[in-house]
A and B are shown apart, each in its own frame.
Chain A
Amino acid sequence: MDLEIQQRVKDMAEKYGPENVIVILGSSEAEAAGLAAETVSNGDPTYAGPLAGISLGLAVYHILEPEVKAEIDPTVYDNEVGMMEMVLDVEEISKEVSSIREQFSNI
């Protein structure tokens, strides 16, 4: 996750309180999604960015996860995400992100 985005997540968590922030990811690969999820929950695993060593414990989901899909108007979801839902490995991405969430999200 690039350094600017890490900083923005960190700032928002400070401003609104970590319990009021949920991060929704859109990464197209499971590994990248997992790294981003870990960054906002346990801290930057590459130790390169502002979240290095900072465990915000934020709730984090991928846009393709069923929990997120269930919250969105099906027509809108289909229009905006439907295409990517067909081409990406939904199961692999969901498995990766939910496993990180279970380990590190406090909310």
Chain B
Amino acid sequence: MPYRVVHYINQFFGQVGGEDKADTQPFIKEGVVGPGMALKGALGQDAVIVATVICGDGYFNENLETAKAEVLSMVERYSPDIFIAGPAFNAGRYGVACGAICKEVKEKLGIPVITGMYPENPGVDLYKKDAYVVKTSDSAAGMRKAVPLMANLAIKLLKGEAIGSPDEDSYIERGIRKNVFKNELGAKRAVDMLVAKLSGAEFTTEYPMPAFDRVTPNPPIKDMSNAKVALVTSGGIVPKGNPDKIESSSASKYGRYSIAGVEALTADTYETAHGGYDPVYANADPNRVLPVDVMRELEKEGVIGKLYDYYYATVGNGTSVANAMKYAQAIAKDLIADGVQAVILTST
């Protein structure tokens, strides 16, 4: 008996129509539709696409909970051994829909799930931990390359074969670390890499760094003596007792605390919630991390116009870049609304 596959595609690939049909409610058809034809060929005799769910990208994203439940019940009826969504290439809403439904199917039905996206598709960051996301080109012109990769991974998962590294099996890193034995010590491997790098030879890093975006600095402030300046820290300085219970690692929130009338932070009134450094010196004198004392001096000397009445704090320890960005956007909105012109960011 061949394995059973259910395939998910959007209204465009489902040949319902383009953007004008993006509100199409989910429906299921027996057999293959659109890219399923290519997938069928690539899967060969081992697996058969028993049904295809088609759903408008707009409908899915605007009715996330309902859509997930509707699609899930359709998928369930066909008792698949694996669920494949897309590929979505660089289509943002399609990518998010593929990722979200993969996660739902995996959690509720306990079967392997695969999708395909261009690495910059917003669905990648949201769901790469939940599904195998095969790396594709940015447009549907890459269908011919994407489909065999997805099919190959699907067959491996179905047969319970070991899945290789992201490079070997062409999927996007899922943030999973796996212990492996190497013949040579880490020190030797590191030196070999360095030598290769220095001599311009190719080498593969064992620990790829995340790609951070570059922020273009704003133009300098012309008149600091009239500027309202705020303090924001990822060093975890919180009022004693950590009233918002900001986590010592992987913080899920930030706090906003008044320092109106506070001349300097003291060991009795403030402390650090940060779990990533020795807190002794920060607790003894929290100004070392959040320099309220120095800012007050600058305020008195007229170097700055005014220290903003509140400071914002979170814990940077292990906090994801995506969360940090989210906090920063919310904080910046407050600060701009309150007429703050400059921010001093202190870490640990």
Q: Give A residues with C-beta under 8 Å from B.
A: 3, 31, 35, 45-50, 52-53
Contacts and interface: CB of A to CB of B under 8 A. Distances in A.
A46 B141 contact: yes
B140 A3 contact: no
B153 to A, nearest CB: 19
Nearest to B89: A46
Size band of the interface chain B makes with A: 10 to 19
Contact of B18 (A3, A35, A52, A53): A3
Contacts of B144: 45
Given A47-B34, A50-B15, A52-B37, 10 more contacts: A3-B17, A31-B141, A45-B141, A45-B144, A46-B141, A46-B143, A47-B13, A47-B140, A47-B143, A52-B15
7 contacts: A3-B17, A46-B35, A47-B34, A48-B13, A48-B34, A52-B34, A52-B37
Contacts of B139: 46
Interface string B45-72: 0000000000000000000000000000
A50 B139 CA distance: 18
B158 interface: no
Contacts of A49: 15
B12 A48 contact: yes
B38 interface: yes
A3 B143 contact: no
Nearest to B14: A48
Contacts of B38: 47, 53
A45 B147 CA distance: 11
A69 B36 CA distance: 39
Contacts of B15: 3, 48-50, 52
A17 to B, nearest CB: 24
A47 B14 CA distance: 9
A102 B15 CA distance: 29
B12 A47 contact: no
Nearest to B38: A47
A81 to B, nearest CB: 25
Interface in B4-47: 12-13, 15, 17-18, 34-38
Nearest to B32: A53
A48 B14 CA distance: 7
Contacts of A45: 140-141, 143-144
Contacts of A31: 141
Contacts of B140: 45-48
Contacts of B34: 47-48, 52
Contacts of B143: 45-47
